[in-house]
């Protein structure tokens, strides 16, 4: 008999084995000596002359009834357990979805062990098995898909979670699709740490455990009113009890002295301090606990890209834009021949500025005879004007500039466009302000200021160049491609203390900061483009109060159906049943010779 | 004995008397010594059965001269005839606890005693009865046994002695010695039979047996109590032990049968169940322990 792949459809039948100790107990008590008077004891003395005591230990010797009943119980349990062997032509797909959430780092070893256990448990479920190991990150490729169990286990061993809170539905849907797309038989298991993450009817194994975690919930670098840079960090206690932790700063001249912070139960404390002099970056550290991902907060001193700007306007308008642009990081006003941004005036007709520019409608002048147009200003759905309030707009209506079909309108007054974007050379776009700038209150309207800042910042960030910033772990890292002069120089992402990898064009479009807190650099060739710090920012990942160990099996109906399709029952089931019945009959058969047998024995005795 | 037992023993005596209508003790095949009776003696007598010739001696009864021989030879020759005697019967009955513990065997013993007494009475043979319990022999009055039955006359047995072979079993010279016993005691049968056979005569052994005794019906742990001595012992009885027991049981009786055959002793087991006449018609009749009444 081939025992490989043996499984049991009715595991509850093993409870029947409890009948064995019960049987032993029954026989134990039944085997108490019965008193029998004999006239032929002298014959027995000759047969068993030694002190072969019957009560003390002979009770453990198996009697025929005991052996038969024991055999019957074992056979019945075997039959009731419904042993099944894989069909020769059966296939199954086993999908392991590993929770990529950062919180899983606290129980990564347990998760890997659970995954390996599930893989091992599925061995023999069918003649052929396709193993799939994947993360819950819907953007990540499958870690392994194929027939090799060893490779699947290696994929599990290489798994490392680092994602923030995310939706599991896509990955689980993908996993179940892989099962149904194969033979339609198999299982899709989610290995996670919290039952709340598991959708209904999803098989899952929980390996979570409660951790009294205290960690950074975010950090930033800002300018004080004095102009000095300050760092700020939020520390959160996720535990239900008050906690005390030591913290310190590493950076600049070295590590600071340790200080402690007291946090009430579920409390939040903000830490702040002056940016270390001369340092480009610093690291805040907390005394370690069971979850280390949020015990470190790396920060870089933010540095925007440099954008050269030239003002082509005069008077109050020039002063306005000079003040506006001077308040935006990275913008340098000057007289460059080819500035990144220009502010110009145009009299009318089409606007052909060639690059990024703020184009003002020229020719209008502020006068007492200005007629105010009372029609409300309406904004298009666009990032530059999103959320801005134009209620207080006061102006004389649209100017003489004309909007073409390729332009993208932003503000309208009645049927006339007030502001639009016009595509320029090399992907640059100009912001056209088609109204009398001096006549209305646009310059004093906050919405106008914000719109202009957004535009300038968008122009600044869209150009190639180096910048430094602090990012949430896993968040998008904007990269500006070189529109012209494209070279074969490769893009690389260098993670400090980690791997360095090349970035393809597709990945550059959606480059994300590393999942773990730390510093990283993006380079193009030898040219640095981004100096960044990825910081733990998803406070939900640090809360382990609902982490638990649990197991949610697939619906019993599904499992039974899958088992029926991939396995076959014991062909000797009827034989075992008959044998069990025979054993029971034999156990009940009187243990003595019948009358005819006695007569035959007497005849033999006489012979 | 209880009232029920006495009723059963009374029926057993009647059963023994009924068996005596069909069978008798084997008086016919023997040469007896004793007082004048109706059975051939071992010497010369006055019966009509020719025994031998011899020369006439003065004092011989002239009625027994062989005149035909004198006519042929001229020598006086005497015709000798067998003596006719009444045989003596010594009835020795095992009165140990094992004989009376089983009602069927006790009843069979009672019927056998009644059979022997009735058969001896028909033959005109005087009977001497002894109840044997272990090493003790208790003479019983024949009249009492006939009137009250054997067990009533034997009284309560001696207990606590265990199953022991009887010692000193003897009968009168030339008598028919009948040993009624279940033979359930250890020891070599020849010792008992030699004692009985001493002094000549005829030795018969009747063993009332129980068919069920040949096997151990129960299985498992047993507290085996000896009926003879009351001693107990714990032992597990399984199929193997039961088979060995049965073999030992038959080996025990085969040893008795072979020893009896070798010593020309009439030996037969008598089933304790059923009518005595039916039981005697089997092994006892075939072994010549009883004869069919003509």
Over 50: is that where the pLDDT of A56 sits? no
Shortest distance between the Cα of A110 and any Cα of chain B, in A, equals: 54
Domain ranges (residues) in chain B: 3-30+88-289, 36-85
Rounded Cα distance between A68 and A78, Å, is 15
Rounded Cα distance between B224 and A97, Å, is 70
Shortest distance between the Cα of B177 and any Cα of chain A, in A, equals: 24
Fold of B3-30+88-289: Rossmann fold (3.40.50)
Q: What is the DSSP letter of A3?
A: -
Whether the predicted interface score ipTM is above 0.95: no
Contact B218 A592 (CB under 8 A): yes
Q: In what order do the strands lie in the sheet with A83-86?
A: A7-8, A83-86, A567-569
Question: Which residues of chain A make contact with B261, given a CB cutoff of 8 A?
Answer: none
Rounded Cα distance between B172 and A3, Å, is 83
Closest CA to B16 of B231, B184, B180: B180
Interface of A with B (CB under 8 A): 30-48, 52-55, 58-59, 61, 63-65, 591-593, 598-599, 601-602, 604-606
Which two tokens mark A226?
């004095």
Who among A54, A599, A604 is closest to B221 (CB)? A54
Over 60: is that where the pLDDT of B160 sits? no
Rounded Cα distance between A82 and A87, Å, is 15
DSSP-assigned states of every residue in A102-167? GGGGGGHHHHHHHHHHHHHHHTTSSSEEEEEEEES-TTSPPSEEES-HHHHHHHHHT----B-S--
At B45 the pLDDT is 64
Q: Does B143 touch chain A (CB under 8 A)?
A: no
Rounded Cα distance between A50 and A60, Å, is 18
Over 80: is that where the pLDDT of A561 sits? no
Rounded Cα distance between A220 and A240, Å, is 27
DSSP-assigned states of every residue in A230-291? EEEEEEEE-SSS-EEEEEEEEETTEEPPPEEEEE-TT-EEEEEEEPPTT-SEEEEEE---S-
Over 70: is that where the pLDDT of A551 sits? yes
Mean pLDDT on B150-169: 71
Rounded Cα distance between B50 and B66, Å, is 12
Shortest distance between the Cα of B165 and any Cα of chain A, in A, equals: 11
How distant, in Å, are the alpha carbons of A274, A298, A473, B282 from that of A269?
17, 18, 21, 114
At A349 the pLDDT is 59
Rounded to the nearest 10 degrees, how much is the dihedral formed by the CA atoms of A542, A544, A546, A549? 130
Residues of chain A with CATH 3.40.50.410: 91-209+547-567
Q: Token pair 């304790």 is at which residue?
A: B272
End-to-end CA distance of chain B, in Å? Answer: 37
Question: Which residues of chain A make contact with B182, given a CB cutoff of 8 A?
Answer: 39
pLDDT confidence tier of residue B53, bands split at 50, 70 and 90: confident
Closest CA to A132 of A204, A186, A89: A186
Q: Are A291 and A216 in contact (CB under 8 A)?
A: no
Q: Does B94 touch chain A (CB under 8 A)?
A: no
- A74 membership: H or E segment, kind and range: helix A64-80
Contact A40 B215 (CB under 8 A): no
pLDDT confidence tier of residue A308, bands split at 50, 70 and 90: very high
Q: Does B165 touch chain A (CB under 8 A)?
A: no
Rounded Cα distance between B246 and A40, Å, is 11
Residues of chain A with CATH 2.60.40.10: 223-299
Who among B98, B211, B248 is closest to A43 (CB)? B248
Q: CATH: 3.40.50.720, 3.90.1150.10, 3.30.300.90, 2.60.40.10. Which one for A223-299?
A: 2.60.40.10
Over pLDDT 90: what percentage of chain A?
A: 38
pLDDT confidence tier of residue A565, bands split at 50, 70 and 90: confident
With H, G, I as helix, E, B as strand and everything else as coil, classify residue A471.
strand
Question: Which residues of chain B make contact with A59, given a CB cutoff of 8 A?
Answer: 221
Rounded Cα distance between A376 and A362, Å, is 23
Closest CA to B183 of B120, B239, B257, B242: B257
Q: Which range (A210-219, A416-425, B61-70, B97-106) has the least confidence?
A: B61-70
Rounded Cα distance between A451 and A468, Å, is 24
Over 50: is that where the pLDDT of A55 sits? no
Q: CATH: 3.40.50.1820, 3.40.50.880, 3.30.450.20, 3.40.50.970. Which one for A307-462?
A: 3.40.50.880
| Model confidence pLDDT, tens digit, residues B227-280 | 777 677 777 787 888 888 888 888 888 888 888 888 888 888 888 888 888 888
Q: Are A186 and A179 in contact (CB under 8 A)?
A: yes
Over 90: is that where the pLDDT of A415 sits? no
Q: Token pair 């870690």 is at which residue?
A: A143
Over 80: is that where the pLDDT of B62 sits? no
At A334 the pLDDT is 86
Q: Which class would CATH give A91-209+547-567?
A: alpha beta
Over 50: is that where the pLDDT of A320 sits? yes
With H, G, I as helix, E, B as strand and everything else as coil, classify residue B216.
coil
Q: Are A385 and A451 in contact (CB under 8 A)?
A: yes
Over 80: is that where the pLDDT of A329 sits? yes
With H, G, I as helix, E, B as strand and everything else as coil, classify residue A429.
strand
With H, G, I as helix, E, B as strand and everything else as coil, classify residue A84.
strand
How distant, in Å, are the alpha carbons of A241, A343, A420 from that of A359?
60, 6, 10
Who among A31, A41, A591 is closest to B226 (CB)? A41
Over 80: is that where the pLDDT of B152 sits? yes
Closest CA to B230 of A299, A39, A287: A39
Instruction: Give residues with Cβ within 8 angstroms of A387, minimum separation 6.
Output: none
Shortest distance between the Cα of B148 and any Cα of chain A, in A, equals: 26
φ, ψ of residue B271 in degrees (nearest 5):
-60, 135
How distant, in Å, are the alpha carbons of A139, A584, B19 from that of A163?
11, 61, 109
End-to-end CA distance of chain A, in Å? Answer: 49
Highest-scoring range by mean pLDDT, A419-423, B157-161, B287-291: A419-423
Rounded Cα distance between B14 and B61, Å, is 48
Question: Which residues of chain B make contact with A54, given a CB cutoff of 8 A?
Answer: 221-223, 234-236
Which two tokens mark B252?
């025990």
Rounded Cα distance between A15 and A33, Å, is 31
Rounded Cα distance between B239 and B237, Å, is 7
Question: Which residues of chain A make contact with B185, given a CB cutoff of 8 A?
Answer: 42
pLDDT confidence tier of residue A486, bands split at 50, 70 and 90: low
Q: Are A264 and A242 in contact (CB under 8 A)?
A: yes
Rounded Cα distance between B256 and B283, Å, is 14
Verdict on whether the full-model pTM lies above 0.95: no
Closest CA to A282 of A292, A272, A270, A293: A272
Alpha helices in A392-476 (DSSP H): 446-462
Mutate to test the interface with B, among A31, A43, A47, A607 (most CBs of B within 10 A): A43
| Model confidence pLDDT, tens digit, residues A241-251 | 999 999 999 88
Summary mean pLDDT of chain A: 84
Who among B186, B218, B221 is closest to A58 (CB)? B221
| Model confidence pLDDT, tens digit, residues A261-286 | 999 998 999 999 988 888 889 999 99
Mean pLDDT on A395-421: 89
The residues facing A518 across adjacent strands are: A534
Contact B227 A34 (CB under 8 A): no
At A54 the pLDDT is 45
At A53 the pLDDT is 46
Instruction: Give residues with Cβ within 8 angstroms of A365, minimum separation 6.
Output: A436, A438, A439
Contacts across the A-B interface (CB distance below 8 Å): 132
Mean pLDDT on A127-156: 92
Residues of chain A with CATH 3.40.50.880: 307-462
Q: Are A384 and A410 in contact (CB under 8 A)?
A: yes
Rounded Cα distance between B127 and B87, Å, is 9
- B121 membership: H or E segment, kind and range: helix B103-123
Q: Does B148 touch chain A (CB under 8 A)?
A: no
Over 70: is that where the pLDDT of B188 sits? yes
| Model confidence pLDDT, tens digit, residues B113-140 | 999 888 888 877 788 888 887 777 888 8
Rounded Cα distance between B288 and B203, Å, is 11
């Amino acid at each position: 008999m081939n025992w490989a792949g043996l499984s049991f459809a009715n595991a509850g039948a093993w409870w029947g084995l409890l009948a064995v100790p019960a049987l032993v107990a029954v026989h134990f008590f039944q085997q108490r000596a019965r008193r029998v008077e004999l006239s032929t004891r002298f014959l027995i003395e000759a047969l068993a002359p030694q002190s072969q005591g019957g009560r003390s230990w002979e009770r453990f010797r198996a009697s025929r009834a005991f052996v038969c009943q024991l055999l019957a119980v074992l056979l019945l349990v075997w039959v009731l357990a419904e042993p099944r062997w894989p069909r020769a032509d059966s296939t199954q797909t086993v999908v392991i979805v590993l929770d990529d959430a950062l919180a899983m780092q606290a129980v990564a070893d347990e998760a890997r062990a659970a995954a390996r256990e599930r893989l091992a448990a599925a061995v023999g479920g069918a003649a052929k098995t396709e193993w799939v190991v994947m993360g819950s990150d819907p953007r990540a490729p499958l870690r392994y898909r194929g027939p090799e169990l060893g490779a699947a286990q290696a994929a599990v061993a290489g798994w490392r979670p680092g994602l923030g809170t995310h939706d599991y539905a896509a990955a689980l849907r993908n996993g179940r699709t892989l099962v149904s797309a194969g033979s339609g038989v198999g299982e899709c298991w989610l290995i996670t740490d919290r039952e709340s993450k598991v959708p209904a009817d999803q098989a899952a194994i929980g390996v979570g455990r409660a951790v009294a975690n205290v960690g950074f919930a975010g950090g930033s670098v800002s300018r004080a009113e004095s102009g000095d840079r300050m760092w700020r960090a939020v520390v959160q206690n996720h535990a239900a009890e008050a906690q005390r932790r030591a913290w310190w700063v590493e950076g600049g001249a070295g590590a600071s002295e340790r200080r402690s912070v007291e946090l009430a139960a579920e409390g939040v404390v903000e830490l702040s301090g002056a940016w270390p002099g001369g340092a480009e970056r610093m690291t805040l550290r907390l005394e370690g606990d069971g979850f280390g991902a949020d015990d470190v907060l790396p920060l870089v001193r933010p540095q925007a890209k440099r954008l050269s700007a030239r003002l082509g306007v005069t008077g109050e308008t020039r002063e306005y834009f000079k003040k506006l642009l001077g308040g935006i990081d990275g913008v340098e006003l000057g007289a460059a021949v080819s500035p990144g941004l220009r502010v110009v005036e145009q009299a009318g007709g089409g606007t052909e500025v060639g690059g990024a520019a703020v184009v003002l409608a020229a020719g209008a002048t502020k006068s007492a005879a200005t007629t105010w147009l009372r029609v409300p200003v309406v904004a298009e759905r666009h990032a530059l004007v999103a959320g801005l309030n134009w209620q207080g707009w006061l102006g004389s209506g649209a100017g003489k500039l004309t909007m073409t079909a390729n332009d993208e309108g932003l503000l309208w007054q009645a049927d006339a466009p007030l502001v639009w974007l016009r595509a320029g050379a090399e992907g640059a776009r100009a912001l056209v302000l088609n109204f009398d700038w001096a006549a209305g209150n646009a310059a004093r309207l906050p919405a106008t200021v914000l719109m202009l800042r957004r535009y300038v910042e968008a122009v600044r960030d869209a150009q190639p160049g180096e910048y430094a910033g602090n990012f949430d772990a896993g968040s998008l890292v904007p990269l500006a491609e070189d529109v012209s002069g494209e070279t074969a120089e490769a893009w690389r992402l260098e993670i400090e203390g980690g791997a360095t990898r090349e970035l393809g064009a597709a990945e550059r479009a959606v480059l994300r900061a590393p999942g773990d807190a730390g510093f990283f650099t993006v380079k193009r060739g030898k040219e640095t483009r981004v100096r960044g710090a990825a910081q733990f920012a998803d406070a939900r990942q640090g809360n382990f109060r609902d982490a638990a160990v649990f197991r949610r099996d697939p619906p019993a109906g599904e499992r039974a159906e899958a088992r029926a399709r991939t396995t076959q029952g014991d062909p000797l089931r009827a034989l075992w049943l008959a044998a069990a019945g025979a054993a029971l009959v034999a156990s009940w058969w009187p243990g003595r010779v019948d009358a005819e047998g006695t007569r035959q024995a007497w005849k033999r005795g006489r012979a | 004995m209880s009232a029920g037992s006495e009723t059963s023993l009374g029926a057993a005596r009647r059963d023994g008397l009924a068996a005596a209508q069909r069978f008798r003790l084997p008086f016919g095949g023997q040469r007896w010594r004793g007082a004048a009776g109706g059975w051939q003696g071992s010497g010369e007598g006055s019966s009509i059965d020719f025994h031998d010739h011899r020369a006439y001696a003065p004092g011989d009864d002239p009625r027994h001269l062989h005149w035909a021989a004198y006519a042929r030879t001229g020598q006086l020759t005497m015709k000798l005839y067998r003596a006719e005697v009444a045989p003596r019967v010594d009835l020795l009955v095992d009165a140990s606890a094992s004989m009376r513990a089983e009602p069927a065997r006790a009843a069979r013993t009672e019927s056998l005693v009644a059979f022997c007494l009735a058969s001896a009475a028909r033959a005109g043979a005087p009977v001497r009865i002894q109840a044997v319990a272990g090493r003790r022999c208790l003479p019983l009055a024949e009249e009492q046994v006939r009137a009250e039955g054997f067990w009533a006359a034997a009284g309560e047995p001696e207990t606590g002695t265990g199953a022991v072979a009887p010692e000193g079993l003897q009968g009168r010279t030339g008598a028919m010695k009948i040993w009624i016993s279940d033979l359930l005691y250890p020891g070599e049968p020849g010792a008992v039979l030699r004692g009985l056979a001493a002094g000549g005569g005829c030795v018969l052994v009747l063993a009332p047996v129980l068919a069920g005794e040949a096997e151990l019906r129960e299985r498992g742990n047993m507290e085996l109590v000896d009926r003879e001595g009351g001693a107990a012992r714990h032992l597990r009885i399984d199929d193997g032990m039961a088979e060995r027991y049965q073999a030992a049981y038959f080996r025990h009786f085969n040893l008795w049968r072979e020893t009896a055959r070798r010593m020309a002793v009439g030996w037969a087991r008598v089933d304790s169940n059923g009518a005595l006449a039916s039981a005697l018609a089997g092994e006892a009749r075939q072994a010549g322990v009883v004869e069919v009444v003509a």
